[in-house]
Structure 1
């Protein structure tokens, strides 16, 4: 039996089912937000966890999950982030979306590709670069952002959020260009 990857940081998830699935994939401690109604007590626990061991935010790839991620990020700077693509988090029945429905391998890959927030990065990628790349305002913009987010392991976003995540996770122009090439080549196949 292979040894589970050990995660030093505390992984912030939405609920108990997420904790169960994470613990099947890796050796880690979790902290549950119990949904999107995050109270001050939960934020304080996350802040304490960040000070002691660091935090990885690993929420569902849907609107409530993104809302939770944003609330925590704003209240507790410097968190790390793990992302699942929507297609990796869909229940086998087709009814349900979340970390608890992902495969063990998808969870391991997301945790191996953790991204660190940074506020000190003066971004190389301008909003206009995203417009020029057809990631904002074009007929295929949404699909392109979905594929780009999956390739870069930063999750799906709208155009404005994409720009912010590219900055937050210090994605360079070179890395962006390579990922964009992969996105555009995927359209041709």
Structure 2
């Protein structure tokens, strides 16, 4: 059975933290691929600042140099709020030959009890928890812990830098930064 990591998020914008997490988890667990899954409307935060198609394009640009990274747009295509349980039910039906590992930061590990249909979701997917600054990986749910280098970068902070016309060099892949400038995103 092929083992696939899933890294969901708004990716508003995608940054090196996302890429490092995906690659480190892939290597640590010998996953065949990591699927980046941009959400349409995440249930736990406000709507993304940038249109879904621009976010998908940025994720494609960010991941294009890694043959083990795949962009999956199932949540964008479904529209509405992106509940992981609904997504994983569909993916398990469409890909019965794959075992899925859902990658989340420690902040989301703490939030797991509030996830929709969490007990049923635990039967569909294994959760991978990665450490995040000021958060522990404490939960009653079975989580596979993976240590990754800690890079203090957030999409929220990068949006502020972009809005203030500050440099985001090295925080965002060059092609993503060029796309942001070309489309005048986050201004």
TM-score by length of 1: 0.32
* Structure showing the higher strand proportion among its residues: 2
Q: Which has the larger radius of gyration?
A: 1
Pick 1 or 2: higher relative contact order, CA cutoff 8 A, min separation 6. 2
TM-score between the two structures when normalised by the length of structure 2: 0.32
Q: Which structure shows the higher helix fraction? A: 1
